[in-house]
Amino acid sequence: MIEIVSCVVAVCDTCRSYFDEDGEGVQHFATVAGARAHLAEDGPEPKGDGLDYLRDTTTPGWQQLADGRLRCWRCETNRLCTEHGHDWTPWQACWCQGRCTIQLRSCQRCGNRQDRYDPATTTEGGERA
């Protein structure tokens, strides 16, 4: 026989991506409540003033906003970095190991990269010697 079943998927209101489509595959839930319960486990609630959450550089999970909208981990990551700044690693020497004077750092939250000339090899004002 043919049976029609309906199921629930969670979609990011910002970028329209489906829950876990970039992970183990789009997850289907039996009920809206089941979907919300699963998302609640995925996305840690910001605690207290929210700063603990900010300092936590692990990937944020999906967020359920007060008005019921959803925000995927990627959009949440972008929001955190946009509103609170990137969470940079210390400057590190370029991977070429001294053949240039470039230093690199990356955001531990979103993976954004920056580079600069090693200030030890530049004159005041940041200009290259």
Q: Nearer Cβ to Zn ion, position 64 or 109?
A: 109
Q: Residue 16 CB, nearest distance to Zn ion (Å)?
A: 7
Q: Nearer Cβ to Zn ion, position 1 or 96?
A: 96
Spell out where 56-101 has E strands: 63-64, 70-71, 92-93
Q: Nearer Cβ to Zn ion, position 28 or 105?
A: 105
Residues at the site binding Zn ion, with contacts judged by CB under 5 A: 12, 14-15, 72, 75, 81, 86, 94, 96, 100, 102, 107, 109-110, 112
Spell out where the chain has E strands: 63-64, 70-71, 92-93, 102-106, 113-117
How many CB atoms are closer than 10 A to CB 80? 21
Q: Residue 92 CB, nearest distance to Zn ion (Å)?
A: 11
Q: Residue 81 CB, nearest distance to Zn ion (Å)?
A: 3
Q: How many residues does the chain have?
A: 129
Q: Residue 99 CB, nearest distance to Zn ion (Å)?
A: 5
Burial class (CB in 10 A: 0-12, 13-18, 19+), 10: buried
Q: Nearer Cβ to Zn ion, position 8 or 94?
A: 94
Q: How many helices (H) and strands (E) does the chain have?
A: 3, 5
Quick one: which H or E segment has residue 81? helix 73-84
